[in-house]
A and B are shown apart, each in its own frame.
Chain A
Amino acid sequence: MSAHTHADGHLPHEPEKATLEGRNKVLGFWLFLGGETVLFGTLFSAFLALRDKVGEGNPTANELFNLSTVAIATFILLTSSLTSVFAIQAMHAGKKVPMLWWLAITVLFGLGFLGLEIYEFYEYVHEGHGFTTSAFSSSFYTLVGFHGAHVAFGVLWISILIGQVLKKGLNVVTAPKLYVAGMYWHFIDVVWVFIFTVVYLMGKVG
């Protein structure tokens, strides 16, 4: 069984775990996600500690946030998580072309989410909510912007993986990369669940 045979669709049952390298990659990525959890945790705790420190005359969370934009962004990211799971399922079934399409759709959803977030930040800055306006604004932009940066990185990463699969095919070398990128995308979605809950919805409630 050469890599060429694998590229024809004769993949093992779980191609991402077929090699030791692949298994190590998945385990290592889980440890990375543990570290990412702590990293986002520090940003969340900073935001929670500072979210009421608005200062005189600056916009508060309740005045600022527009829930319909957040709802659309949430819908987009949640759907992109589903399309990325379909991509991994297509990969497990050895269907390269459907997998690439699902990945492309995931990337498009990611770009849509980023567009909304950029528009949202643009609006906030125009309403007098800059990065240095207050402790609340700094911690808000750091937390939400850091998540946005993760989305941007994910979009770039998955796009490059699409290119790599087009060039080298779907085999036991590329499969772990796709699997791990899928996990990354789900993790970003899970972080967003906490952002829309803690930042936006709890910000609206007060």
Chain B
Amino acid sequence: MTANHSTTEETKKRHKHEGPRKHIVAYILSMFLTLIAFASVIGGEINVSFIIFILLMMAGIQVFVQMGFWMHMKDRGHTFPIIGILTGAVVVFTMVIMAEFWAWW
């Protein structure tokens, strides 16, 4: 029981050390990227393809931030999940490119 107790304490300590900070950082970063995306559209006046480029960049970075921090993909032992999601992403990328550029050729 004592041994058990100390392991629990250790576990608690480690988690306290980890803390919510990196998640708050990920949140603020996501907020910031979202803000840039909205501002670039509301601010207007720059040329359209440049704005679209910014929008896609912001979305891309935000996905890495959120999947890395919040979906724990940065943690070890996530090889299969990464393979699974990447397979999905490759299929999606192909489909989206096809629809956007060749559907009305």
Contact = CB atoms under 8 A, between A and B. Distances in A.
B88 A94 contact: no
A158 interface: no
The dominant DSSP class at the A interface is helix
A67 B89 CA distance: 28
Contacts of B42: 67
A89 interface: yes
A92 B17 CA distance: 13
Contacts, number: 131
B96 to A, nearest CB: 5
Interface string B27-42: 1001100100110011
B2 interface: no
Contact of A37 (B14, B70, B88): B88
Contact of A205 (B16, B52, B58): B52
A125 interface: no
Interface residues of A, number: 50
Given A37-B89, A44-B96, A82 B66 contact: no
A92 B69 CA distance: 15
Contacts of B11: 12-13, 94
Given A49-B103, A206-B48, A82 B41 contact: no
A186 interface: yes
Contacts of B91: 37-38, 41
Interface in A75-103: 75, 78-79, 81-82, 85-86, 89, 92-94
Interface string A27-48: 1001101111110111011101
Contacts of B80: 27, 30
A175 to B, nearest CB: 14
Interface in A165-206: 183, 186-187, 189-190, 193-194, 196-198, 201-202, 204-206
Nearest to A23: B77
A58 interface: no
Given A30-B85, A44-B92, A190-B66, A204 B34 contact: no
A33 B84 contact: yes
A48 B88 contact: no
A39 B34 CA distance: 24
Contacts of B92: 37-38, 40-41, 44-45
18 contacts: A33-B81, A37-B85, A37-B88, A38-B88, A41-B95, A41-B96, A71-B38, A75-B34, A79-B27, A85-B23, A85-B70, A86-B20, A89-B20, A93-B16, A187-B71, A189-B70, A190-B66, A196-B37
